[in-house]
Amino acid sequence: MIDNGKIENSHPEDLLQRAYDVKSPEDAIDLYRDWAGSYDQHLEGGLRYVAPTVIAQMLSSAEPDHTVRVLDVGCGTGLVGVCLSKLGFSHLDGLDFSFEMLEEARRKDVYRELIQADLNESLDLIQSTYGAAISCGTFTHGHVDASVLGRIALLLEPGAIFACTIHQAVWDEAGFSRTLECLSPENLLEIQEIHERPYFDGSGPDGRFCILRRR
């Protein structure tokens, strides 16, 4: 555990590099435990993180009914929930495996339920519960692989939108391209739109911002 003062005074770029160096779920748990208290300050102030706004707007355009129940997958401190709430979405639940990140999300007061669960394991939630889902920044280095898509799809009602960002570095490497482009009947998600866009204001297009639809 690194002391909070040290983390707060770290360069945001160094913490982002630590996130990109994550090799295992254990690394991720340690990183977000240490980072939770200063994550928003580093991401929004230091790195000018625009991905939550962009993906929330994409969901808003693809799903005009803002009363649907939405699951924020890997909600972290709740930056996406805040954007969705401003856009008028009224029923948001958040899921993350980091207790400390969930505590920060709770303070935002935009989620009805906050669920502590590991996306790498089967999710003990009722199937076809959600009218939409969103995920920002979680499909990245060492966090989850593409098998997560099947677990999330099962939680969605048929026809529901799943708006997500997938880092370019894991698009092929963690199997996302293969899984999403597979046309077999077991693939429950079909691609509606994919755009290459930056996560950070002024950075290169390091993410694929996707609108998927549950078959």
Ligand X SMILES: C[S@@+](CC[C@H](N)C(=O)[O-])C[C@H]1O[C@@H](n2cnc3c(N)ncnc32)[C@H](O)[C@@H]1O
Cβ closer to ligand X: 101 or 211?
Answer: 101
189 binds ligand X (CB under 6 A): no
- Which range, of 60-68, 72-80, 155-163, 188-196, touches ligand X by CB under 6 A? 72-80
12 binds ligand X (CB under 6 A): no
On whether the CB atoms of residues 104 and 77 are closer than 8 A, the answer is yes
Q: How far is the CB of 25 from ligand X (least distance, A)?
A: 5
96 binds ligand X (CB under 6 A): yes
Please state, in angstroms and rounded to a whole number, the distance separating the CA atoms of residues 215 and 206. 28
Cβ closer to ligand X: 60 or 138?
Answer: 138
114 binds ligand X (CB under 6 A): no
According to the 3-state scheme, what is the secondary structure of the chain? CCCHHHHHCCCHHHHHHHHHCCCCHHHHHHHHHHHHHHHHHHHHHHCCECHHHHHHHHHHHHCCCCCCEEEEECCCCCHHHHHHHHCCCCEEEEEECCHHHHHHHHHHCCCCEEEECCCCCCCCCCCCCEEEEEEEEEECCCCCCCHHHHHHHHHEEEEEEEEEEEEHHHHCCCCHHHHHHCCCCCCCEEEEEEEEECCECCCCCCEEEEEEEEC
Interface of this chain with ligand X, residues 125 to 164, rule: CB under 6 A: 136-138, 143-144
118 binds ligand X (CB under 6 A): yes
Q: How far is the CB of 71 from ligand X (least distance, A)?
A: 12
Pick one of 68, 70, 82, 119: the residue that binds ligand X (CB under 6 A).
119
74 binds ligand X (CB under 6 A): yes
32 binds ligand X (CB under 6 A): yes
Count CB atoms within 10 A of the CB of residue 69.
Answer: 18
207 binds ligand X (CB under 6 A): no
Q: How far is the CB of 72 from ligand X (least distance, A)?
A: 7
Q: Residue numbers of the site for ligand X (CB under 6 A)?
A: 19, 25, 28, 32, 52, 74-76, 79-80, 96-98, 101, 118-120, 136-138, 143-144
